[in-house]
Every structure is written in structure tokens, then in C-alpha cells.
Amino acid sequence: MRKTKPMRTATVLMLSISVAASVMADMARAATETNADKGFRWRDGAEVYSKVCSYCHQGQVGPRLFGRELPPEYIRAIVRNGSRAMPPFRPSEIDDESLAKLAEYIQRN
């Protein structure tokens, strides 16, 4: 099969969503989803750096971060608050644990 389906939606889709039953059916659907694949998670600091930071900080847009031994607390503060034109990043985007790994990764490189 060439189709890719990370989640099993078949049972879900078979639920009736007639008007009267819709709320209940949706509750059931939601319950199924809770147990399904949890979605995206960061692997490590290097992945966050390459998939977010590097586009600006490895190019000519923002300042270079490597080789400056930037303190992790400083990196964490800038990521969460933003700085001038740099947008802040929320824990929903980069969770605290991944941010700690990112800060450590940047400091190390």
C-alpha cells in the first residue's frame, strides 16, 4: 500500500455523527485518539538546533551562536522571551527538557 496512515482511523471514521449522536460519537472518537500515536517529539538539542535555530543563526539572518560559550540560562531566556525581531518559542514548541538540551548543545559547540 502506498498510502501512509500513522493512525488507525478506521474505527473512528465508522462512528456515526448524526446530529443527535454527534457529541457522544465525538467523545468516543476523542477517546480513541488519546491512545493513538502521540505525535512529534524532539530527539535532542542538535535536532532542535538544526530544525529551528539554524535557519537564521547558521545563515546570515541572526548572530552566530556557536563558539561563544553562551551560558545556558541566557539561551533559555532568549528562546522564551525572544529578542528584538527574534520571535519567542513556547514550551509547546520546544519543551523545557528539549530547551535545556538545546542550550547545552549550543554551549558545547
Partner 1 sequence: MSNKYIALPKGISEKTFDSAIADFRSVLGDAAVFTSAQQLAPYIKTMMPVPDLDHAPSAALMATTVEEIQKIVGICNRYKVPIWTISTGKNLGYGSAAPVERGQVVLDLKRMNRILEVDKDLAYALVEPGVTYKQLYDYIAEHKLGLWLSMPAPSAIAGPVGNTLDRGVGYTPYGEHFLFACGMEVVLANGEVLRTGMGSMPNSNTWQVFKWGYGPYLDGIFTQSNYGIVTKFGFWLMPAPPAFKPFVIQYENEEDIVEIVEIIRPLRISGVIPNAVVIAHALYEAPVKARRSDYVTGPGSIPDAAVRKLAKDHHLGIWNVYAALYGTQEQIDLNWKIVTQAFGKSGKAKILTEREVGDDPAFKYRAALMRGDMTLQEFSLYNWRGGGGSMWFAPVSQARGSETLKQMALTKEILAKYGLDYSGEFIVGMRDMHHIVDVLYDKTDPGQVKAAYQCFDELLTIFSAQGYGIYRVNTAFMDKVAETYGPVQRQVHKTLKKALDPNGILAPGKSGIR
CB of 66 to partner 1, least distance (A): 17
Contact yes or no for 22/30 (Cβ under 8 A): no
Size of the site for partner 1 (CB under 8 A): 49
Contact yes or no for 88/81 (Cβ under 8 A): yes
Alpha helix positions (H), 35-87: 45-48, 54-57, 72-81
CB of 36 to partner 1, least distance (A): 7
What residues line the site for partner 1 (CB under 8 A)?
Answer: 2-7, 9, 13-18, 22-23, 26-27, 29-31, 33-34, 36-40, 51-52, 55-56, 59-62, 80-93
